Structure 1
Amino acid sequence: MKLGKDTLNTRRQLTVGGKAYDYYSLEAAEAQIGEIGRLPFSLKVLLENLLRYEDGQSVTVDDVKALAQWVAERRSDKEIAYRPARVLMQDFTGVPAVVDLAAMREAMTKLGGNPEKINPLSPVDLVIDHSVMVDTFGGPDSFAKNVDLEFQRNGERYEFLRWGQGAFQNFRVVPPGTGICHQVNLEYLAQVVWTTEVDGKTVAYPDTLVGTDSHTTMVNGLSVLGWGVGGIEAEAAMLGQPVSMLIPEVIGMKLTGELKEGTTATDLVLTVTEMLRKKGVVGKFVEFYGDGLKHLTLADRATLGNMSPEFGSTCAIFPIDQETLRYLEFTGRDAERVALVEAYAKAQGMWLDDSQPDPVFTDSLELDLSSVEPSLAGPKRPQDRVPLSTAAPAFASHLSKELSADAAAAADKGVAVDGSDYALNHGDVVIAAITSCTNTSNPSVMIAAGLVAKKAHELGLDVKPWVKTSLAPGSQVVTDYLEASGLQTHLDALGFDLVGYGCTTCIGNSGPLPEPIAKAVDEGDLLVCSVLSGNRNFEGRINPHCKANYLASPPLVVAYALAGSMQVDLLKDPLGTGKDGQPVYLKDVWPTNHEIQDVLLASLTPEMFRGRYADVFKGPEEWQRIKTSEGDTFTWDLGSTYVAYPPFFDDVAPEPAPIADVSGARVLAILGDSVTTDHISPAGAIKRESPAGTHLLEHQVSQRDFNSYGARRGNHRIMMRGTFANIRIRNEMVPGVEGGFTKYLPGGDVMAIYDAAMKYQDDGVPLVVVAGKEYGTGSSRDWAAKGTRLLGVKAVIAESFERIHRSNLVGMGVLPLQFKPGMDRKSLKLTGAETFDLQSLAETLAPRVDVACRIHRPDGTSEEISLLCRIDTADELAYYRNGGILHYVLRNLMAEDRVAAE
């Protein structure tokens, strides 16, 4: 860490338990810059960061003063350089990041520089959690079989990561089978207050991070400021580049009251998601406050923080209070660290104190926790909350909209399932998955699921035979308390056996449906469902056969597995018939809050956390046996279909080329509203007949070994072919067609988007993509931007962008442009047959300026429009001028190397 000049003389000393810590005092700053006591907690963290790095260049005293001005104006247009303490990665996004770092080392060598300059300067933790798939389920050997398949499939990737672990400094890998990165972060990695030795002094400062998973925000529940960024931005942060950002607006979410009997943290989260989406918090911070915080456990807070991307906010944070300390102590953090957190928070005015007035916010809204009711969200978006009381009729309404009368009547009697005595119908739940960091971090809802299973099992109920069940905990601690309580036995009895520790169904790693089930779905073109305790339910994400997907609490996942259909009204209809021949209803198996608490207190202990995390980086025997190459640069296997040297640096020169206009660009796709990064770069299954599937078959990879797009992110040849390849994407250039297809013009042939893009590249024709509102919503998926660039897309023109994807496009040298209010693809009557000229870019391009665009129509007419440049900051402009953020960093490091040599 290189500290700043401290022009304002705010460095002070804090003594805790006999040990001295240097810190940058907000109180000392307040005496010079004005009132900051009522700043939101999150902005106090940003202010401390600016004080610590103030150097007169990247961070100035004026930047610091802008935080005090925020108190009066409650918003700011000031751009700041923010430096998080560390970086968190999962393997889907971590592998391509390490591939890029390895490629940068090669590029540095080719340019005559020192490859060791390419090295993380900030601590990086990569948790392997996204690779396990639910191939086997419903049996005691499910976990072992899935782990075996995981290591067979991912040997090349894991070998590469083990090389990175040895080759790069400040880089740790948490091996497979440990847990989900966010839960490992919450339970072990996060410290709330971080410390570093600098010039013989111990400096204390807030624990902050960026992560390559959008749900990095889960740690906001532990009062740690962190959010998701694309892998591209994370690599820059690792290499010492600040995160360039505007001082955000902060929306206060006041919580009052207490959750009533029968409601869960999941119900609360889905309610808040709906409220904040309606409020409009994209690109803003959300901060929780109010008396209701006293009634939320740390796990409840983490469940709320986790869903920040579903709100659209950058983060969703809680201040430090007694519950923060209780959790740190309970999860096995050192007593010295817990004492430091309390002393530091109180010294900095970051401690939640009832005697102090509420912070000031840009805007606020309020929720009485007692008004929350049992809920689901679906069938396609996490913000579309459905009260459990109306879930069945709401699904029936969705079904009638999706199906023609003939299709509905054809499947009225169901489709017979081979080798069974039952038929499958519309609305049947074919996947019930307790999965994802959202809920598996929360012992209360996991124990509730176990209690529902126990009561149902004891009454003689069973899961419907067409339901694929799975339990994928967020950490091994979950297994400890479910086993200690005896609840795992009952979950096993219903088919919710352990399938793996990782992000399974929620990321699209649900594995295949049993063949007879899949066949019946295809034969009847059935609209079947998944119910999962996840955070994402975008179409095409969970499983190719599931057209409707619902988010629900873990106990409701068990209930729907018992009921077997979304057409069952869980509040009125029986779940099934008990062994005594009597109907069993949800109320018969639903646990009381008192029952949940009793089991929790009796089964969860601090020793479980200490034991599981005592040797967290060691990993299972399969990990320890992996052999890997050594050296500063990686030995690329040219035959690998998992890890390949990327082409991003093939033609890199010491100086960037001038910005050029875009002339005669063809439209690759016209897309609607809420197009997600899953649509742009799917993470799930690879279809045999897709360009990626064809490529793998040509390289002698059998379909059973395709794995997923997410697992193959280290190979650009697969990921280019998978860009815009989601089975549910709809390109308006080919109406009535689902999947990644477009028209190749001027001829008009319909073909795969990848194939068309390659033909355009051969013709030397640049491309644009046109889209509606909220383009790029969802996961912080760097390949959604990388693939866009490699297909030859020069600009994306949309009505609005989701924060992370817009930034990622800039980071890959793709120009994000926004339609002006009142203008869109429909008002312009765009068909995709037009060509586009983006003019005078070299002379006029600057943050948020107007860009002249001339549209040439097939009838020979043309029209000039003005578009808003969504390069938002000066740093982003520098990245774009260099062709991307990695090229910018590489050139800067080369320049530093030359200066050092001179």
Structure 2
Amino acid sequence: MASLDSFKCRREMIVDGKSYQYFDLKEAEKNGLTGASKLPYTLKVLLENLLRFEDGSTVTKADIQAVAEWVKTGKSSHEIQYRPARVLMQDFTGVPAVVDLAAMRDATKALGGDPKSVNPLVPVDLVIDHSVMVDVFGTADSFKLNVEREYERNGERYKFLKWGASAFDNFRVVPPGTGICHQVNLEYLAQTVWTKDEDGVTYAFPDTLVGTDSHTTMVNGMAVLGWGVGGIEAEAAMLGQPVSMLIPEVIGFKLTGKLPEGATATDLVLTVVQMLRKKGVVGKFVEFYGAGIDNLSLEDAATIANMAPEYGATCGFFPVDNETIEYLASTGRDASRVKLVKEYSRAQGMFRPERTDEPVYTDTLHLDLASVEPSLAGPKRPQDRVALKDAADEFAQVLDSEFKKLEDGGRQVRVEGEQYSVGHGSVVIAAITSCTNTSNPSVMLGAGLVARNAVKRGLKVQPWVKTSLAPGSQVVTDYLARAGLQDDLDALGFNLVGYGCTTCIGNSGPLPEKISKAIAEGDLVACSVLSGNRNFEGRVNPDVRANYLASPPLVVAYALAGTMNINLTEDPIGYDDNNEPVYLKDIWPSSAEIAEVVRSAVTPDMFASRYADVFKGDEYWQGIESGSGLTYDWPDSTYVANPPFFEGMTTDVTPPSDVKDARILGLFGDSITTDHISPAGSIKAASPAGKWLQTNGVEPLEFNSYGARRGHHDVMMRGTFANIRIKNQMVPGVEGGVTIHHPSGEQMPIYDAAMKYAEESRPLVVFGGKEYGTGSSRDWAAKGTRLLGVRAVITESFERIHRSNLIGMGVLPLVFKDGQSWSSLGLKGDETVTLDGVSAITPRADVKAVITHADGTSKTVTLRAAIDTENELDYFKNGGILHYVLRQRAAA
């Protein structure tokens, strides 16, 4: 560590006979860092990071003082350079990051540098968890067949990742079939206190990370500060670049009381999401405190922390406490590490039970856990919580207001060859999936108990429901088996389909053809109920228009009911063999029963056994042959390709130019998500991406998903803005990725229009509304935007990660001022836009936009550059963060 140690706080602690150097926050306060002890826990982590990396340039004494002085007002406009200890990736977002690293090695070599210099400088773990699809379900061999299909589809990608594991230092790959990256992180990778050996000294410091998945925040539940970034930012962090950020506001969320009987951690998190979205915490830290934490398990805390992206915060943090220590021990962490966590946290004032005063917060809010009630969220946003007792009525209202179907709400369509029908509100997917809940034994075992009780009463899942169980780790399988509950789940069709993120990210697989056909024939609003964290429109399945998030036990309940048109708190869920009604309360386990099963079924030996050889992989992984060269021998592939980002690049920086007479590619409304922008889900045969694949010899049955093909720019740029539910207001009343090319007036796919404008050497801009870019941290939402030729995105507000990613790809994010919007300006999409001041732009500077209408009249509006820091400005001027790093490496 190259710390100048201005506050003379470097100290030694001895734990289990081993010496550790650390930077003592209490000592720093004694030596002039007034206010440090009053900071929120999260800012103490940032403060320690700055103390450790103080070098007089990227981190100065003034930066350190600015963090301590935050307590005076609870906010700051000071920029700091933060260096996380490690990086976590999943394969959807990780593959393009590794593709970029491989391309940077090629480019470094071309610029005369050493390709070996392009190498992670901090530990990187990539967990392959996003590629398994639910092709087969409801059978004993579902898992085996889905895994085989996964390797058939993804062999080229897996070969590339296996090469990366051998070619790059500090880079490990957790093979497919192990679990979801966040649960593997929680159960194995994370340590709460990290250590590093340097120059014969072992340093101890808080475990911190950034991840290429927005739900990296789940590990905040065990006091590990981490959040999601785009693959672009993650690559920079890997390559030694600090994360440039303003010292954040920290919202304190006080928890009191205890969850009532019948309420689950899922119900709690849906309540928290709703409250914090209403509060407005985008770009802020959220820190949980209060006596109510004592009544939550660490897994409950992780469930809440996981959904920080859904409530809009950068992170949702729980400090170290006795529950953290117990969890680390019970999941097989080394005993000396567990002891170090306890001693270090106490020494730093980071151990929650021993802190008597409440930290200073920017603002606070409060929830009495006793007020939480069984809930769902939907039909298309995680923050739209609905009480279980009101779900049927709310769906009826949605059927009218959202889908305009109330007049034919009773429509039923007979399923071909069957004795049953489906209609509006039919639940056709019931999926226990996603890291949010599968990390939590209480809701997973609760689902198993609901299944057991249902089977005892003779209940069956409705025949039109596609059921699936995709746990977040193999440990879940172990404790379900030990409790004897997997057999009951199997009896209802909730057989294991894979270990990974499935339905929640659109890997639900196709519905049975006859079900899909009936839905299409009736233009039905079919539903899914999933234990996930995302339910954006068009995400789960192209046949399903209304998606509801729910706890795993409620997923089982809705599979039994088969419809949203039921009040599960009052109506029978089904009838037993004696034709007696069975109600949800009859099969719902008590909290005491769940707790007893958790105690008896979840044991430390499971974790030790499952993670003993976690990087080895199964026989499929071991059978993959990969090269071992410094640079990648790019094959003729439709999965991975050397991207064009560095073509024509020189070591000299060419400053960005002003934007002259740009055409508008799209006019979008509020809450446009990265799902809308970035290619996600299935690839349609008639889409530009589908046509390209077919031209290259890939049949529609072999398309796989956009996520699986994120390593190939030709697929991804064709799928940008191509979501089936996106609404470009240049084409009112039409869903899907289409636009109007001007001045021809021709309607065409957005990709085709972009290419036509490129032929005309015409720059492009995109307009959006509020919260543009919400959702997953998908770097292709920014990469695709750039490759389509978009120079600037102009909105009312941005979600944090996407704004950063646009800058990281050299695309200028601009924000309307004074309450203006493209709508208030009367834009139709046939205008041209000139942006003055781009060539001399500074952080948060004003940019003049001259908008010229088709009739020749024009108006000038003032926009604000959403470039917040000098580091971000450097990245933008270089044409992107990768170009910035590459120039540094080539010059080294």
Same fold, judged at TM 0.5 (above) = yes
The answer for the alignment partner of 2:781 in structure 1 is: 784
* C-alpha separation in 1, matches of 2:301 and 2:709: 34
Assess if the C-alpha contact under 8 Å between 2:123 and 2:170 holds in 1: yes
* C-alpha separation in 1, matches of 2:105 and 2:601: 49
* C-alpha separation in 2, matches of 1:492 and 1:408: 38
The answer for the alignment partner of 1:257 in structure 2 is: 257
Q: Deviations over 1:181-214 (max 9, x none)?
A: 0000000000000001111111000000000000
2:527 maps to 1:501: no
Secondary structure of the structure 1 residue equivalent to 2:62: helix
* C-alpha separation in 1, matches of 2:668 and 2:355: 52
Deviates more, 1:689-698 or 1:259-268: 689-698
Cα deviation for residue 408 of structure 1 reads: 4.2
Q: Deviations over 1:762-782 (max 9, x none)?
A: 100000000000000000000
Secondary structure of the structure 2 residue equivalent to 1:154: helix
The answer for the alignment partner of 2:663 in structure 1 is: 666
* C-alpha separation in 2, matches of 1:759 and 1:814: 20
Structure 1's 807 and 404: CA in aligned 2 closer, same or farther, altered over 3 A?
closer
Same amino acid, percent of matched pairs: 66
Question: Of residues 879, 884, 888 in structure 2, which corresponds to 1:888?
Answer: 884
Secondary structure of the structure 2 residue equivalent to 1:474: coil
Secondary structure of the structure 2 residue equivalent to 1:108: helix
2:110 maps to 1:100: no
Assess if the C-alpha contact under 8 Å between 1:541 and 1:682 holds in 2: no
Secondary structure of the structure 2 residue equivalent to 1:390: helix
The answer for the alignment partner of 2:810 in structure 1 is: 813
Q: How does 1:167-182 map to 2 (within 5 A)?
A: 167-182=167-182
2:399 maps to 1:402: no
Secondary structure of the structure 2 residue equivalent to 1:81: strand
- Which portions of structure 1, spanning 4 or more consecutive aligned residues, are displaced by more than 6 angstroms? none
Q: Deviations over 1:53-102 (max 9, x none)?
A: 00000000000001111011111100000000000000000000000000
Secondary structure of the structure 2 residue equivalent to 1:353: helix
Secondary structure of the structure 2 residue equivalent to 1:33: coil
RMSD (Å), alpha carbons: 0.8
2:575 maps to 1:577: yes
Secondary structure of the structure 2 residue equivalent to 1:751: strand
Secondary structure of the structure 1 residue equivalent to 2:138: coil
Cα deviation for residue 355 of structure 1 reads: 5.4
* C-alpha separation in 2, matches of 1:683 and 1:865: 34
Assess if the C-alpha contact under 8 Å between 2:679 and 2:716 holds in 1: no
2:843 maps to 1:847: yes
Cα deviation for residue 827 of structure 1 reads: 0.8
Secondary structure of the structure 1 residue equivalent to 2:453: helix
Q: How does 1:493-892 map to 2 (within 5 A)?
A: 493-638=491-636, 640-843=637-840, 845-892=841-888
* C-alpha separation in 2, matches of 1:552 and 1:697: 38
* C-alpha separation in 1, matches of 2:93 and 2:251: 29
Q: Deviations over 1:161-199 (max 9, x none)?
A: 000000000000000000000000000000000001111
Q: How does 1:83-232 map to 2 (within 5 A)?
A: 83-232=83-232
| Matched AA of 2:510 | P
Secondary structure of the structure 2 residue equivalent to 1:482: helix
* C-alpha separation in 2, matches of 1:426 and 1:615: 48
| Matched AA of 2:389 | S
* C-alpha separation in 2, matches of 1:19 and 1:847: 46
* C-alpha separation in 1, matches of 2:666 and 2:176: 38
* C-alpha separation in 1, matches of 2:144 and 2:410: 40
| Matched AA of 2:839 | A
User: Alignment length, in residue pairs?
Assistant: 891
Structure 1's 404 and 50: CA in aligned 2 closer, same or farther, altered over 3 A?
closer
| Matched AA of 2:199 | D
| Matched AA of 1:101 | L
| Matched AA of 2:349 | G
2:69 maps to 1:41: no
* C-alpha separation in 1, matches of 2:809 and 2:483: 50
Assess if the C-alpha contact under 8 Å between 2:121 and 2:239 holds in 1: yes
Secondary structure of the structure 2 residue equivalent to 1:818: strand
* C-alpha separation in 1, matches of 2:639 and 2:114: 27
Structure 1's 654 and 402: CA in aligned 2 closer, same or farther, altered over 3 A?
same
Secondary structure of the structure 1 residue equivalent to 2:486: helix
Q: Deviations over 1:543-562 (max 9, x none)?
A: 00110000000000000000
The answer for the alignment partner of 1:80 in structure 2 is: 80
Secondary structure of the structure 1 residue equivalent to 2:37: coil
* C-alpha separation in 2, matches of 1:425 and 1:598: 40
Structure 2 length as normaliser, TM-score? 0.99
* C-alpha separation in 2, matches of 1:355 and 1:490: 45
Cα deviation for residue 416 of structure 1 reads: 1.0
The answer for the alignment partner of 1:283 in structure 2 is: 283
Structure 1's 352 and 404: CA in aligned 2 closer, same or farther, altered over 3 A?
closer
| Matched AA of 2:310 | E
Secondary structure of the structure 1 residue equivalent to 2:38: coil
Assess if the C-alpha contact under 8 Å between 2:470 and 2:502 holds in 1: yes
2:362 maps to 1:366: no
| Matched AA of 1:27 | K
| Matched AA of 1:540 | G
Q: Deviations over 1:428-485 (max 9, x none)?
A: 0000000000000000000110000000011000000000000000000000000111
Question: Of residues 433, 436, 448 in structure 2, which corresponds to 1:438?
Answer: 436
Assess if the C-alpha contact under 8 Å between 1:133 and 1:146 holds in 2: yes
Secondary structure of the structure 2 residue equivalent to 1:197: strand
Assess if the C-alpha contact under 8 Å between 2:113 and 2:891 holds in 1: no
Structure 1: unaligned runs, 5 residues or longer = 897-902
Cα deviation for residue 413 of structure 1 reads: 4.1
Deviates more, 1:689-698 or 1:395-404: 395-404
Secondary structure of the structure 2 residue equivalent to 1:567: coil
* C-alpha separation in 2, matches of 1:81 and 1:540: 38
* C-alpha separation in 1, matches of 2:849 and 2:686: 37
| Matched AA of 2:519 | V
The answer for the alignment partner of 1:900 in structure 2 is: none
Q: How does 1:432-471 map to 2 (within 5 A)?
A: 432-471=430-469
Q: Deviations over 1:372-416 (max 9, x none)?
A: 0000000010000000010000000000123446x843x734111
* C-alpha separation in 2, matches of 1:618 and 1:612: 11
* C-alpha separation in 1, matches of 2:42 and 2:500: 29
Secondary structure of the structure 2 residue equivalent to 1:288: strand
Secondary structure of the structure 2 residue equivalent to 1:546: coil
Q: How does 1:21-40 map to 2 (within 5 A)?
A: 21-31=20-30, 32-40=32-40
Secondary structure of the structure 1 residue equivalent to 2:352: coil
The answer for the alignment partner of 1:8 in structure 2 is: 7
Cα deviation for residue 840 of structure 1 reads: 2.6
* C-alpha separation in 1, matches of 2:863 and 2:2: 41
Assess if the C-alpha contact under 8 Å between 2:668 and 2:769 holds in 1: yes
Structure 1 length as normaliser, TM-score? 0.98
Structure 2: unaligned runs, 5 residues or longer = none
* C-alpha separation in 2, matches of 1:312 and 1:412: 37
